[in-house]
């Protein structure tokens, strides 16, 4: 196992209620070769005193106190104090498992980036979450080409499924190489204060030569109603930051040798964020449906269906069916099922329709020519034409 020094940056701003649990979880790591950089970003609730107390009791802690400058600046200033080969971030209202870094360093093997999974905690509800890409090492040119094609994570407004699998943009579920991270901090847009993780993570990934996606669950991400990511925005801050993120990443993606696929992902990401804007602005949930609505919402109740197609339309249908309990999906199929499974999607081989019971096959497609080709293929397998349903997605 590698025994390199891990630097852990903890930005702190008015989170006294959670700070003891956070710092205790870091200092009690079974992997002892760590240094902790706490950045008090102008706290006024007593958090500063808690930070000072911990700094006095453990010489592995470096404490930086500054006027309030925001999360990005706090992390960047903290990075100026680190001396470890690896870098990790822990938000001050979250906490980590005691063996997280020990388990990571068992598998580090010199990779530029190591990811891990997390527990999403909200009131009395806990959900396991993580990157959708397959667990394993990515280090060949073919591996990295695959990762660049699946760099940007794009989720539906509800956040339950991915329209396009990619890396979760968070910095707190990753172990970085400090040297690369410092170079990224010199490039990021400090004015972005909602999607700062996206700006950092995607820039960093473009500099990587090897990545290890682990199945380690080690981070506890706490959902707080008062946090900046979970409050209603009436002043346009959300939309302003979407624009800033696009302006920041566009030139980086445009000059990369994989610019074509990267810019396409960025555009999809921005569109997905814009779809979330009404919710963030406090619009009624009854008015937020998306722009590709499942056309059979009210007529397939209690029916068992096979959903054919896992592109953006199929993914959108899948989410809506689950959200509104419109019917029961017994199988999700697509001709590119093997690639989609590698991306973490629960899509199966179309031939499996011959082995299950269902009421209808719903075609998730907008192009009539493609619909006819799929229909002909299904009929050739002996599928009853009356069990094949298609209608254009409802456009709002």
What is the maximal distance between C-alpha atoms in the chain?
A: 75
CB 306 within 8 A of CB 331: yes
What band does 316 get if pLDDT is binned at 50, 70 and 90?
confident
Q: What percent of the chain has pLDDT over 70?
A: 92
How many Å apart are CA 396 and CA 260, to the nearest integer? Answer: 29
How many Å apart are CA 260 and CA 337, to the nearest integer? Answer: 24
Close Cβ partners of 99 (under 8 Å, ≥ 6 residues apart): 29, 30, 31, 218
Given this model, what pLDDT does residue 99 score?
97
What band does 333 get if pLDDT is binned at 50, 70 and 90?
very high
Report the half-sphere exposure of 37 (CA within 13 A, side-chain side). 22
Least reliable range by pLDDT among 101-115, 179-193, 194-208, 278-292 = 278-292
Of 165 and 340, which is predicted with more confidence?
340
β partners of residue 34: 6
276's tokens: 């979330």
List b or e across 240-263, with b for residues whose CB sees 16 or more CB atoms inside 10 angstroms: ebbebbbebbeebbeeeeeeebbe
Residue 35: is its pLDDT beyond 90? yes
β partners of residue 345: none
pTM of the full structure? 0.76
Q: What is the mean predicted confidence (pLDDT) over 308-315?
A: 90
212's tokens: 């290890």
What band does 284 get if pLDDT is binned at 50, 70 and 90?
low
CB 34 within 8 A of CB 7: yes
How many Å apart are CA 258 and CA 167, to the nearest integer? Answer: 17
Residue 160: is its pLDDT beyond 50? no
Residue 209: is its pLDDT beyond 50? yes
- Which range scores top for mean pLDDT: 142-156, 166-180, 306-320? 166-180
Q: What is the mean predicted confidence (pLDDT) over 127-150?
A: 92
Close Cβ partners of 268 (under 8 Å, ≥ 6 residues apart): 152, 154, 163, 164
What band does 11 get if pLDDT is binned at 50, 70 and 90?
very high
Nearest to 275 by CA among 163, 386, 125: 163
Q: What is the pLDDT of residues 221-277, one digit of tens each?
A: 998 765 445 566 666 788 999 999 999 999 999 999 999 989 988 988 888 788 777
Q: What is the mean predicted confidence (pLDDT) over 322-329?
A: 87
Of 259 and 159, which is predicted with more confidence?
259
How many residues appear in the chain?
396
Residue 279: is its pLDDT beyond 80? no
How many Å apart are CA 144 and CA 211, to the nearest integer? Answer: 8
Report the half-sphere exposure of 273 (CA within 13 A, side-chain side). 23
Least reliable range by pLDDT among 95-109, 124-138, 147-161, 233-247 = 147-161
What band does 305 get if pLDDT is binned at 50, 70 and 90?
very high
Least reliable range by pLDDT among 16-30, 69-83, 310-324, 360-374 = 310-324
Given this model, what pLDDT does residue 158 score?
46
Phi–psi pair at 283, nearest 5 degrees: -65, 155
Given this model, what pLDDT does residue 44 score?
97
Q: Domains plus CATH for the chain?
A: 6-253 (3.90.550.10), 304-389 (3.40.50.720)
Q: What is the mean predicted confidence (pLDDT) over 335-346?
A: 88
Given this model, what pLDDT does residue 2 score?
75
DSSP code per residue over 334-346: -TTHHHHHHTT--
How many Å apart are CA 126 and CA 128, to the nearest integer? Answer: 7
What band does 301 get if pLDDT is binned at 50, 70 and 90?
confident
């Amino acid at each position: 196992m590698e025994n390199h020094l891990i630097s852990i940056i903890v930005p702190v701003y008015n989170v006294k209620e959670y700070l003891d649990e956070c710092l205790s979880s870091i200092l009690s790591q079974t992997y002892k070769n760590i240094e902790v950089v706490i950045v008090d970003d102008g706290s006024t609730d007593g958090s500063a005193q808690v930070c000072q107390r911990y700094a006095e009791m453990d010489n592995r802690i470096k404490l930086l106190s500054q006027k309030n400058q925001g999360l990005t600046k706090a992390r960047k200033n903290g990075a100026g104090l680190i001396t470890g080969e690896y870098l990790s971030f822990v938000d001050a209202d979250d906490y980590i498992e005691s063996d997280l870094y020990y388990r990571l360093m068992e598998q580090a093997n010199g990779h530029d980036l190591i990811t891990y999974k997390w527990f999403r905690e909200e009131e009395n509800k806990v959900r396991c979450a993580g990157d959708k890409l397959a667990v394993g090492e990515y280090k060949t040119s073919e591996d990295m080409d695959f990762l660049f094609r699946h760099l940007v994570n794009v989720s539906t407004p509800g956040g339950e499924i991915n329209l396009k699998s990619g890396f979760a943009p968070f910095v707190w579920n990753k172990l970085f190489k400090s040297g690369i991270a410092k170079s990224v901090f010199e490039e990021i847009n400090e004015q972005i204060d909602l999607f700062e993780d996206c700006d950092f993570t995607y820039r960093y990934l473009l500099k990587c030569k090897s990545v290890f996606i682990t199945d380690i669950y080690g981070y506890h991400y706490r959902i707080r109603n008062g946090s900046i990511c979970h409050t209603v925005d009436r002043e346009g801050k959300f939309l302003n930051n979407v624009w800033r993120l696009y302006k920041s990443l566009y030139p980086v993606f445009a000059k990369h040798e994989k610019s074509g696929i990267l810019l396409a992902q960025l555009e999809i990401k921005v569109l997905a964020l814009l779809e979330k804007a009404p919710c963030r602005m406090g619009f009624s949930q009854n008015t937020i449906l998306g722009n590709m609505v499942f056309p059979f919402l009210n007529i397939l109740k209690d029916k068992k269906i096979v959903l054919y197609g896992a592109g953006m339309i199929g993914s959108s249908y899948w989410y809506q069916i689950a959200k509104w309990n419109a019917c029961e999906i017994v199988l999700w199929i697509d001709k590119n099922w093997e690639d989609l499974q590698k991306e973490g999607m629960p899509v199966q081989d179309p031939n499996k329709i011959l082995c299950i019971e269902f009421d209808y096959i719903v075609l998730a497609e907008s192009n009539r020519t493609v619909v006819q080709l799929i229909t002909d293929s299904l009929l050739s397998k002996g599928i009853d034409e009356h069990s094949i349903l298609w209608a254009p997605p409802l456009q709002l």
